[in-house]
Amino acid sequence: MPEASPPRSQQSYRHEAFLWSDATEYTSFLTPFIEEGIAAGEPVMVALLRQHATWLRDALGSSAGKVRFVDMARLGRNPARIIPGWQQFLTEHAAEGRPLRGVGEPIWSGRRPEELVECQLHEALLNLAVDPETPFWLICPYSVHGLDDSVIAEAYRSHPAVILQSAYQGNKHYAGRSHVDWIFGSPLPALPTESQQFTLTSSNIRGVVDVVTLAGSAAGFWSDKVTTLAAAVRRLAAGSLRRGAAQVIVKLWDLPQALIFEVSDDTAIADVMIGRRAPMGDDLDGLWFANQLCDLVQVRSTSSWTTVRLYAWK
């Protein structure tokens, strides 16, 4: 492992991509990284697919009990829930500048295209989500054989440092905050069929519940799921009106793989971390609510428009 200098307690936040080829390389790099943290008394959280977690548990032996293992397939089902998971870990253990370590694997072969792009936004946002002075060392594994070259190229853009063949290399492709802004301000791709469309104002916003309930029931979802979707769409529409939108456009698509709702308006969201911070007090963040209850949420915004898509997988 690279020697940490200055001491860990004096280091800043580190967010690094680890490009791996096989199970041996995976464990031979990450096991010492974790063991070094355990030996130094650093809390360690590992959020991986179950197979990869098993590799590390076996390699760590009895030391595995000192690591917090999290099922990334569950935590990261909606990628917008991953940063709150890391924030909770930091809140619990980062008192008085205590160093911490983490391994997080939000991207794997087989992710839906919509999930993949949100994972890539998540990785870029991680560079903003943690205070730079926090001594948190986070490594994100990427399979060079299991993932497309375009995905690996994106990892270079979203990680300040890249580890290849267990050695650090220069990364001139890291794009920083500008990359976050580019993703957040890019329109979502067009969906394959025409949508149903409804216009909401402050006078008829209550009607969106009936619209979503009817669509959810027709798509075959159970009543609790329908209620969840209706509440999420209504909160998002209400948020649009609170931001100053004169009207809100709600679209829906009943596709073979998902029921999709889109809420759009002509206002702007400047906070790229919206929906990823636990609400405090009377905070009315409808995106946080949607992220906790929906299978996938996509939000994009510029100075002149905002679009949010909610997915319910079938």
Q: What is the mean pLDDT of residues 204-213?
A: 94
**137-186 pLDDT per residue, tens:** 999 999 999 999 999 999 999 999 999 988 998 899 999 999 999 999 99
Give 8 or 204, the one with higher predicted confidence.
Answer: 204
The pLDDT of residue 4 is 47
The pLDDT of residue 5 is 47
Sheet containing 100-104: order of strands? 68-71, 44-48, 100-104, 136-143, 14-20, 161-164, 167-169
Range of lowest pLDDT (2-11, 129-138, 242-251):
2-11
Q: How far apart are CA 163 and CA 165, in angstroms?
A: 7
**262-299 pLDDT per residue, tens:** 999 999 999 999 999 988 766 678 999 999 999 999 99
CB neighbour burial string for 43-61, b if at least 16 within 10 angstroms, e if fewer: bbbbbbbeebbebbbebbe
Q: What is the mean pLDDT of residues 235-241?
A: 95
CB 267 within 8 A of CB 245: yes
The pLDDT of residue 2 is 47
pLDDT band for 193, please (50, 70, 90 cuts): confident
Q: What is the mean pLDDT of the chain?
A: 94
The pLDDT of residue 26 is 98
CB neighbour burial string for 234-265, b if at least 16 within 10 angstroms, e if fewer: bbbbbbbbeeebeebbbbbbbeeebbbbbbbb
Q: What is the DSSP string of 9-31?
A: GG---EEEEEEE-SHHHHHHHHH
Percent of the chain with pLDDT over 90: 89
The pLDDT of residue 9 is 62
Number of Cβ atoms within 10 Å of the Cβ of 208: 22
Fold of the CATH domain 196-313: Heat Shock Protein 90 (3.30.565)
CATH 3.30.565.10 domain residues, the chain: 196-313
The pLDDT of residue 278 is 86
Per DSSP, the three-state class of 244 is coil
Task: Kindly tell me if the per-residue pLDDT of 250 is higher than 70.
Answer: yes
Task: Kindly tell me if the per-residue pLDDT of 1 is higher than 80.
Answer: no
Instruction: State the amino acid at position 68 in one-letter form.
Output: R
Task: Kindly tell me if the per-residue pLDDT of 202 is higher than 80.
Answer: yes
Task: Kindly tell me if the per-residue pLDDT of 256 is higher than 70.
Answer: yes
Taken in order 208, 293, 117, 146, the sign of the CA dihedral is: negative
Q: Which CATH superfamily is domain 8-184 in?
A: P-loop containing nucleotide triphosphate hydrolases (3.40.50.300)
Q: How far apart are CA 139 and CA 163, in angstroms?
A: 9
Tokens 């905002």 correspond to: 306
CATH 3.40.50.300 domain residues, the chain: 8-184
pTM, two decimal places: 0.94
**Looking at beta carbons, which pairs linking 146-153 to residues 24 or more positions away fall under 8 Å?**
146/108, 146/109, 147/107, 147/108, 147/109, 151/107, 151/116, 151/120, 152/19
